Each structure stands twice: as structure tokens, then as C-alpha cells.
Amino acid sequence: MNAILHKDFLFSVHDEEAARAILDLRNRLKAGLLSPYLGPGLLEVAGAEAAIPASPEAVAAALNLRAPAPSRIRTNMWAVAQHIEQRRHRNTLKAWMAEIFASEPQPTALHHWLAGLSLPMIVDSWYDGAMRAALKASGRRDFVSIQGITRAGETRDIWTRVYGADDSHAEDAEASRAGTVLYEPHGGARPAGNFLVADSDYVEVLTEIDIQTPIPDVVKDRRGALGFLFLGCRFHDQMLRTYARQILKRSKGPHYAVMTGEALTRNERRFLTENGITLVDMPLHQAVDLLVG
């Protein structure tokens, strides 16, 4: 599968060609040539109603039930969280996020399949911890997770924390020796309740991210030999686009995104085009079925 990329052209594959593309991507994953970049949309793949929010807008709604925000920001997770932090304190926001994501992670068949591969790196952009749970359930001990952390209250120049397979805190050096690095740039509910969610959490990160300071060294090293496959992701918000763009920076490529073409916003289409990401135009559940066989 070869994509002819141009900065003004979105390369996409459809129908039977999309199905063939997924099978090729399956082989690339098994060969360790791609890093899955997982989003909250995977929570809806199983068909049952998710026990936890499956989008930033759903998190915003859950937070609004606890402390109603002004109508102009009510659907914006980052702004609602900032509203709560300013009026109720950071500890309240953290406690409520822990409540919202309190249900035990329920990995999908895709999570379990990915856990069984020897992938150098997996990016999980949601808070629920399903990918981490699948790695633990596989019995593997050769993985670490690296989670983004809030800088609130920090006096050190620290952006992330590393956790071993046993949930214990690990040294940064251990990440370079891991068989699989699970990178959770926005934090995770487990094992320590790290949540980058309020606007204030991202102030310093977004100031530094263009020069890559918040990106862990092991992520920078491993992406140089990898392309990315986006599954369950949306890019309708600038925050999501900024993070993905910076994580992709200096990676080998090529990159692919499983999304339904007709549902793309103008900003999402532009993001895919500008970053040379091939659109595999297919419903997510169909793509997952083909991937896991």
C-alpha cells in the first residue's frame, strides 16, 4: 500500500481498498513497524454503552453534573475542568475525575490483540487505562507506561512519570529497556490518578511542546523508526491536534487514520492532509474486526 501524499491533498482509501489496507496495516503492526495511537472512540467498539465517558464532551457533561459551568463553555472539557479548579480547588477536580473513571477498565478485543504483539510503542490518548489493563492481563512484565502529569504544585522540571508493570513508580532510564512503551500523554486514571484536563494543565506544556521538551526521550527515539495508526481518535479540537502533531514530529511514517470520511470536520480534514495521514475510510468496528481477525 503506497500513499501519494501532497500537502494539499488528502489521500484516502475506501470500500474494498480500505479492507485491503487494514489487512496490510495488520501485518505492519505484527512486524512492529507501526505504533497504534488509541482514542476514546474504542470504548464504543464493543457495542454496549460505555461505563465511562467516551469523548471529551462526555467528560464535560459528567463534570457539569457535579458543578454546572457557564453555558458558553459547557461542552468544552478543558474549560469546564478549569472552571472547577478555579472555584472548587484542584483536589476537587482530581477527585471528581477519579470518580468519573472509577470503573475498572474493560479492554476490547483490539486492546488484548495489541497487548500480545511485540510493539515498540503504543500511544493511548484517553484516561481509562484499557490498554494498560490489557498489557497487565497478558502477563507481560516487559512494559512500562509513561504518563503526562500536571505541573500544578511541581517545583521540579518534570513532565511525565514512569510506571512499571506492577504499578510501582519507575526511573526514566527503565523506559529505554522496556519491550513496549505505553505512552499516555494526557495522564491516566491508574495507577496514580494523573489527569491533564484543565486549561491550566496545558499552559506550560503547550509553551514547550513545539520544542519537544514535554515529550519523553524514549518516545522521541522510538518514533524515528515508526509510523502511526490512529484508532478511535477525533481531531475536532485544537488541543487534540496539537498533541498528535507533536508526537508525530520526526517519526518515520507513513501514518494512517481509521475514520469515517463523511463525519470529518473541516479542521480534521486539514489536519490529516497537512500531516500526510492516509484516511482509511471505514467504520471503526469493521476495521477492528479485520485487525483482530
Alpha carbon distance 135, 239 (integer Å)? 27
pLDDT, tens only, 124-181? 999 999 999 999 999 999 999 999 998 766 656 789 999 999 999 999 899 999 999 9
Identify the burial level of 104 via C-beta atoms within 10 angstroms of its C-beta, where 0-12 means exposed, 13-18 middle and 19 or more buried: exposed
Q: Does residue 38 sit in the same domain as residue 59?
A: no
Q: Does residue 63 sit in the same domain as residue 176?
A: no
In this prediction, residue 207 has a pLDDT band, given cuts at 50, 70 and 90, of confident
The pLDDT score that the predictor gives to residue 4 is 44
Q: Are 278 and 254 in contact (CB under 8 A)?
A: yes
Q: Is 5 domain-assigned?
A: no
Q: Which of 42, 67, 100 is the last residue of a domain?
A: 100
The pLDDT score that the predictor gives to residue 2 is 44
Q: Are 124 and 183 in contact (CB under 8 A)?
A: yes
Task: Give the DSSP H/E element, type plus range, for residue 36.
Answer: strand 34-38
In order of 1, 112, 117, the CA distances from 6 in angstroms are 16, 35, 32
Q: Is 4 domain-assigned?
A: no
Edge-to-edge strand list for the sheet holding 34-38: 12-14, 277-281, 255-259, 227-231, 34-38, 121-124, 180-184, 143-148, 160-163, 169-170
Torsion from C-alpha of 64, 68, 70, 72, nearest 10 degrees: 20
Q: Does residue 131 sit in the same domain as residue 253?
A: yes
The pLDDT score that the predictor gives to residue 9 is 84
Q: Does residue 38 sit in the same domain as residue 74?
A: no
Q: Is 261 domain-assigned?
A: yes
Q: Is 7 domain-assigned?
A: no
> Which residue matches cell numbers 505484527?
30
The most confident of the ranges 46-50, 77-81, 208-212 is: 77-81
Mean pLDDT of the chain: 93
Task: Give the DSSP H/E element, type plus range, for residue 145.
Answer: strand 143-148
Among 27-36, 42-51, 191-200, the range scoring the smallest mean pLDDT is 42-51
Q: Does residue 75 sit in the same domain as residue 35?
A: no
Range of the domain at 276: 12-52+101-292
257 Rama sector, left if φ>0, alpha if ψ -120 to 50, beta otherwise: beta
Q: Does residue 96 sit in the same domain as residue 150?
A: no
The pLDDT score that the predictor gives to residue 224 is 97
Q: Is 116 domain-assigned?
A: yes
Q: Does residue 195 sit in the same domain as residue 81?
A: no
Residues 6+ apart with CB under 8 A from 45: 108, 110, 232, 284, 285, 288
pTM of the model: 0.94
Q: What angle do CA 46, 51, 54 make, to 5 degrees?
A: 70
Q: Does residue 122 sit in the same domain as residue 183?
A: yes
Q: Does residue 74 sit in the same domain as residue 176?
A: no
Q: Is the predicted pLDDT of residue 198 greater than 50, yes or no?
A: yes
Q: Are 262 and 269 in contact (CB under 8 A)?
A: no
Q: Which amino acid is at 105?
A: P
Total domains, the chain:
2
Q: Which of 37, 65, 100 is the last residue of a domain?
A: 100
